[in-house]
Structure formats: structure tokens, C-alpha cells
């Protein structure tokens, strides 16, 4: 089946540094990928929709200058958390749509746990 690979699975960084998270579709092409954020015991919150070859679409309240998304190829999307602060500590998960045409069935990466000290 379709696999979405996400790295790193866990990252710890100092406040003020930037962190890049990669999301790859391994055996299919993903023109669109989605980035979610999840706080403990909370549901998934859509941050942005990443479109290959064009600018990402950010959800209301998500700072586009803080969370930089690049989708340079059909198999790779990256999320860069710039000038990270402790409040950015969270679980970040990417996903791609794999359902039949017209269906919004998503497959997810394993997630990246970011801890900002």
C-alpha cells in the first residue's frame, strides 16, 4: 500500500533554532500533502496544505513565516519550524491523499515529535 515516510521521528532543539521535517511519498506521487499538528489528548489540527510547485495554503491562525512549507517535488514536502520556541513543541504529522478520485482518504506519516528547550 501507499507509504508516507516522515523524518525525523523525534527532534530536540534549543529555542531560537530552526528545525526541518521531511515527508516523502515512497511508492506514489503526491501532488498534495497535508501538515497536521497534534497536542496531547487532542485531535489533529490541519496547519496547511502543501501543493507541488506552488505556495502552500495555510489554515487560519497558522503563521506562514513561522512554519515554512516547501513542496519541491511530487514525492517530497518539508516543514521548517523557524526560530522555534517552547510553545512550538508538539507532534507534527504529514499526510497524503490516497483514496479513489474524489475521496479524501489520507495516509499519514509516523509523525515527528518536536521538543524545544
Partner 1 sequence: QKEVEQDPGPLSVPEGAIVSLNCTYSNSAFQYFMWYRQYSRKGPELLMYTYSSGNKEDGRFTAQVDKSSKYISLFIRDSQPSDSATYLCAMSASRNSGYALNFGKGTSLLVTP
Residues that bind partner 1 (CB under 8 A): 4, 6, 32, 34, 41-44, 46, 49, 91, 93, 95, 97, 99, 101-111, 113
Residue 83 C-beta: closest distance to partner 1, Å: 25
Comparison of 32 and 70: residue with beta carbon closer to partner 1:
32
Comparison of 6 and 75: residue with beta carbon closer to partner 1:
6
Q: Which of 61, 66, 76, 69 is nearest to 23 (CA)?
A: 76
Name the 3-class secondary structure at 41.
Answer: coil
Q: How far is CA 35 from CA 23, 25, 50, 82, 117, in A?
A: 9, 13, 8, 15, 23
Residue 16 C-beta: closest distance to partner 1, Å: 26
Residue 102 C-beta: closest distance to partner 1, Å: 4
Comparison of 19 and 48: residue with beta carbon closer to partner 1:
48
Comparison of 88 and 109: residue with beta carbon closer to partner 1:
109
Q: How far is CA 63 from CA 6, 29, 32, 58, 68, in A?
A: 22, 27, 20, 8, 9
**Alpha carbon distance 29, 98 (integer Å):** 10
Amino acid at each position: 500500500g501507499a507509504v508516507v515516510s516522515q523524518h525525523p521521528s523525534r527532534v530536540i532543539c534549543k529555542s531560537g533554532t530552526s528545525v526541518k521535517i521531511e515527508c516523502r511519498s515512497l511508492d506514489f506521487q503526491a501532488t498534495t500533502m497535508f501538515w497536521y499538528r497534534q497536542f496531547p489528548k487532542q485531535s489533529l489540527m490541519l496547519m496547511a496544505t502543501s501543493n507541488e510547485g506552488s505556495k502552500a495554503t495555510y489554515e487560519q491562525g497558522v503563521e506562514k513565516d513561522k512554519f515554512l512549507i516547501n513542496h519541491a517535488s511530487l514525492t517530497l514536502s518539508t516543514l521548517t519550524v523557524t526560530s522555534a520556541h517552547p510553545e512550538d513543541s508538539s507532534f507534527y504529522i504529514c499526510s497524503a491523499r490516497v483514496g479513489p478520485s474524489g475521496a479524501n482518504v489520507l495516509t499519514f506519516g509516523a509523525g515527528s515529535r518536536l521538543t524545544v528547550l
